[in-house]
């Protein structure tokens, strides 16, 4: 449960309705404020208008994928790209494997359990003292 005097804000980016439903249910149950984007293009617009403590981003979304969204953050909002947790069902793809290896961000392989989601969010929040 979030113990700070404000709710941490997470942007969940995924085009799979079941993943979004589970993520929103788990994260709001943990006390987070969760916004939802169906792809990186929508997420880019939302990130330009709101401040987020974390981004939970699928790597494969239409219009703008998670890798492109990460690059947008890196270029336009330096430091925010470090707050991205990636999700993917495509861990065997060489491009995805290389990207995840190069970036060193946390990631969850799909399908993931509610407990795995809770654990990685906690891990991200505790990653560094000045992270969030």
**What pLDDT, on a 0 to 100 scale, did the predictor assign at position 92?**
85
Note whether residue 27 is domain-resident.
yes
Note whether residue 131 is domain-resident.
no
pLDDT over 50 (residue 25): yes
Decide which of 129 and 10 is more confident. 10
Tell me how far apart the alpha carbons of residues 2 and 7 are, in angstroms, rounded to a whole number.
7
Tell me how far apart the alpha carbons of residues 132 and 112 are, in angstroms, rounded to a whole number.
24
Note whether residue 2 is domain-resident.
no
* CATH code for position 65: 3.40.50.2300
Note whether residue 45 is domain-resident.
yes
Note whether residue 39 is domain-resident.
yes
Note whether residue 1 is domain-resident.
no
pLDDT over 50 (residue 125): yes
Note whether residue 18 is domain-resident.
yes
**What pLDDT, on a 0 to 100 scale, did the predictor assign at position 129?**
46
Parent domain of 110: 9-91+104-125
Q: Which of 53, 68, 63 is nearest to 128 (CA)?
A: 53
Task: State how many domains the chain has.
Answer: 1
**What pLDDT, on a 0 to 100 scale, did the predictor assign at position 54?**
96
pLDDT over 50 (residue 5): no
Any alpha helices (H) in 9-127, and if so which ranges?
Answer: 17-29, 40-49, 66-76, 94-103, 114-125
Q: Compute the average pLDDT of residues 22-30.
A: 96
pLDDT tens figures, 41-77: 999 999 999 999 999 999 999 999 999 999 999 999 9
Cα 36 to Cα 66, 92, 112: the distances in Å are: 14, 26, 18
pLDDT tens figures, 76-112: 999 999 999 999 998 888 999 999 999 989 999 999 9
Note whether residue 112 is domain-resident.
yes
Q: Helices H, strands E: what count in the chain?
A: 5, 5
- Kindly indicate the confidence band of residue 6, based on its pLDDT and cuts at 50, 70 and 90: low
> Tokens 């330009």 correspond to what residue?
48
Q: Which token pair is 125? A: 């929040």
């Amino acid at each position: 449960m979030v113990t700070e005097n404000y709710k941490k804000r997470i942007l969940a980016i995924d085009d799979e309705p079941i993943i979004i439903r589970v993520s929103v249910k788990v994260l709001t149950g943990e006390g987070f404020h969760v916004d939802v984007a169906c792809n990186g293009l929508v997420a880019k617009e939302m990130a330009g208008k709101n401040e987020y403590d974390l981004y939970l981003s699928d790597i494969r979304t239409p219009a703008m994928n998670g890798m492109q969204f990460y690059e947008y953050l890196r270029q336009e909002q330096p430091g925010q790209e470090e707050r991205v947790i990636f999700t993917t069902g495509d861990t065997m793809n060489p491009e995805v494997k290389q990207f995840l290896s190069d970036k060193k961000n946390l990631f969850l392989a799909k399908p993931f359990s509610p407990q795995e989601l809770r654990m990685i969010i906690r891990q991200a929040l505790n990653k560094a003292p000045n992270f969030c």
